[in-house]
Structure formats: structure tokens, C-alpha cells
């Protein structure tokens, strides 16, 4: 009957072509810039700041992370939510003894690695550990030396995102 190809839908019988709204907006900007002379394009650059253009192309993902340690061991859980509402969740058990705070860091690190693996550029990170979120935001100092490598690792991972924000959420909402 028809076939889909990168944002288009072709209907061979009636020669109907469907194009997504996002494609039309992006195409309008590209067409406008393509018809401009080099001098006109330089003048227009102020009218189209990079942040706004990137805002059209990029949408923010959400990530929720949690870690827990008890007498039975340590476990982590991460939930990634795409801009289109697709949920990707995973959980795991840590095979080494650790503290609850280290487990929270482990969960956040694994979540950031997964997001980078999916090509995510903008990420909103939510966690229920006041300590971890405050340390990641550099509002609180790291007093426990064992947590320093985790903090350094998170900073390196965070630098690979175009935009990343951290937000504390109460335990009942995480």
C-alpha cells in the first residue's frame, strides 16, 4: 500500500505524500538560509541563536535513579524516559559490599552511561538522595573520601551532554 522513509509516507496509488510537522519547520529554516547570500546569512545569525536552533532539534530526556543497600546486598534501578514518552528501565544487583550513598552514585553513573549510549544530548536527572544531588550540583562538599571517585566519574560523564540538570525528588515520587 505505501512505505515510510525518514519522515515521509508515500502512498503509491494516489501519489499522496505525508510529511511530519517537525520536518516542515526544519525544512522552512533550511530553505530560507539556502536562498540567502553569505552577507545576508551573517546578518541573520543574530536572529537565530544557536540555542534556539538546537532547541528545535533536541528534546530533553528524563532519568530517574535509585540505589539501596541492606543486609541482603545492594541494588540499583534506573528509568530513562524519552521525549516521546518511551520508558526504558533497568535494574541490577551490585556484586560488592558498598554503602547506600555509593550505591546511589553507582545507579546515577550507570544511568548516565546508558543515556550517552543512546545518544542523548539533553538530560534531566532526578534522584531521591539529597546528599548525592547536592554533591553533583557542587552545593555540598564531599566529606567521605570513598565517594570522591564517583563524583569525578559523574563530572566526566556530565561533560559529554549538551545540557544536564539535576533535581532532588522526594523518595515517594522517585
pLDDT tens, position by position, 112-137: 999 999 999 999 999 999 999 999 89
Same domain, 140 and 114: yes
Same domain, 53 and 89: no
Claim: this prediction has a pTM higher than 0.75: no
CA distance 62 to 169: 13
CA distance 57 to 50: 11
pLDDT digits (tens, 9 = 90+) for 20-48: 444 444 444 454 444 455 555 455 445 44
CA-nearest of 62, 174, 50, 46 to 118 is: 62
Same domain, 79 and 107: yes
Same domain, 83 and 52: no
Residue 84, all three cell numbers: 516521546
Number of domains in the chain: 2
Contact 17, 5 (CB under 8 A): no
Same domain, 69 and 99: yes
CATH of the domain at 110: 3.30.420.10
Same domain, 24 and 65: no
The residue segments making up the domain with residue 32 are 2-57
Amino acid at each position: 500500500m505505501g512505505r515510510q522513509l525518514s519522515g515521509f509516507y508515500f502512498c503509491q496509488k494516489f501519489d499522496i505524500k505525508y510529511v511530519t510537522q517537525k520536518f516542515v519547520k526544519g525544512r522552512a529554516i533550511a530553505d530560507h538560509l539556502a536562498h540567502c547570500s553569505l552577507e545576508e546569512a551573517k546578518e541573520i545569525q543574530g536572529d537565530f541563536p544557536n540555542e534556539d536552533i538546537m532547541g528545535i532539534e533536541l528534546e530533553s530526556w528524563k532519568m530517574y535513579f535509585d540505589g539501596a543497600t541492606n543486609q541482603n546486598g545492594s541494588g540499583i534501578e534506573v528509568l530513562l524516559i524519552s521525549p516521546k514518552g518511551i520508558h526504558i528501565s533497568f535494574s541490577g544487583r551490585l556484586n560488592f559490599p558498598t554503602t547506600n550513598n555509593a550505591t546511589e552514585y553507582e545507579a546515577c553513573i550507570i544511568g548516565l552511561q546508558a543515556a550517552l549510549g543512546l545518544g542523548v544530548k539533553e538530560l534531566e536527572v532526578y534522584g531521591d538522595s539529597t546528599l548525592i544531588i547536592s554533591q553533583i550540583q557542587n552545593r555540598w562538599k564531599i566529606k567521605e573520601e570513598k565517594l570522591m571517585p564517583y563524583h569525578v566519574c559523574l563530572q566526566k560523564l556530565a561533560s559529554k551532554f549538551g545540557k544536564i540538570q539535576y533535581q532532588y525528588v522526594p523518595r515517594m515520587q522517585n
